[in-house]
């Protein structure tokens, strides 16, 4: 059985489709019930459970997790994919926007994982945290988003360090720019050079499943995006100058 958050479109829907093809029983999680039912219909997954949950709402998450654990004995796979963009620079950031983005991109991931942990441990399952290359290098005009992804990456890595004691495996995924409804990557696609770095959701989902089946603990998608993390770590001044020059679209 697999739980997928952010399952109505983009990477989440693409992963759900592949998991359904592999005969996983699915629990599809998103904020909009109508879009969830449309996603289930598109998948042809008539036995999938749909749960309209705002992962930034701790009470809603607690209720969802309790119901899921009551319905299923174990959880083989949890995909934490829910995410929202926020394109503001650090000085222009609206505090309410920052709190909302942190609520979805960080607390939503952590709260759902902790709430379902008993089921994951029971099944000796796997957690796939879809973070972003933006968790390794900050861009000038996406401060709330990159802040949330830095925090989510640190949390996922910390989780990966302690999860094995309960028999759970954690895969942290850092995609580069992926074209999705929430992240159309319009500005990058306008550039002949930059568009080469943008991938579609199908390639992203395929790479994630390959990493999952090979037992990886962390992966960049595509792999060349690891260079961005190296530049940030080894030459932060260069990284700052490079990211300040371009007004990029947010990552996945």
Residues involved in catalysis: 145
User: Using CA atoms, how far apart are residues 218 and 215, in angstroms rounded to an integer?
Assistant: 9
CA 4 – CA 22 distance, rounded (Å): 14
Query: Cα–Cα distance between 55 and 112 in angstroms, integer?
Result: 7
Q: Would you state the structure tokens that stand for residue 91, as one six-digit string?
A: 């000085």
Those residues whose C-beta lies under 8 Å from the C-beta of residue 235, and which sit 6 or more positions away, are none
- d(CA 16, CA 242) in angstroms, rounded, equals 36
- CA-derived radius of gyration, the chain: 17
Task: Give SS3 for 219.
Answer: strand
CB 26 within 8 A of CB 4: yes
Paired tokens of 28: 């599809």
């Amino acid at each position: 059985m697999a739980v997928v958050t952010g399952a109505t479109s983009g990477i989440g829907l693409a992963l759900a489709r592949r998991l359904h093809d592999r005969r996983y029983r699915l629990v599809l999680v998103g904020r909009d019930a109508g879009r969830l039912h449309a996603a289930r219909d598109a998948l042809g997954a008539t036995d999938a459970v749909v749960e309209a949950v705002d992962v930034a709402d701790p009470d809603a998450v607690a209720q969802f997790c309790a119901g899921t654990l009551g319905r299923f004995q174990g959880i083989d796979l949890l995909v934490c994919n829910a995410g929202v963009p926020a394109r503001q620079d650090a000085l222009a950031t609206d505090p309410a926007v920052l709190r909302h983005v942190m609520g979805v991109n960080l607390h939503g991931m952590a709260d759902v994982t902790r709430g379902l942990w008993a089921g994951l441990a029971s099944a000796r399952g796997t957690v796939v945290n879809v973070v972003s290359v933006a968790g390794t290098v900050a861009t000038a005009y996406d401060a709330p988003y990159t802040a949330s992804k830095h925090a989510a990456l640190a949390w996922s890595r910390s989780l990966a360090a302690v999860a094995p004691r309960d028999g759970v495996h954690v895969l942290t995924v850092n995609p580069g720019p992926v074209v999705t409804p929430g992240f159309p990557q319009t500005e990058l696609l306008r550039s002949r050079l930059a568009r080469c770095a943008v991938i579609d959701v199908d390639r992203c989902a395929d790479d994630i499943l390959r990493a999952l089946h090979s037992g990886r603990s962390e992966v960049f998608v595509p792999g060349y995006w690891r260079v961005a993390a190296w530049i940030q770590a080894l030459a932060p001044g260069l990284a700052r100058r490079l990211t300040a020059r371009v007004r990029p679209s947010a990552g996945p």
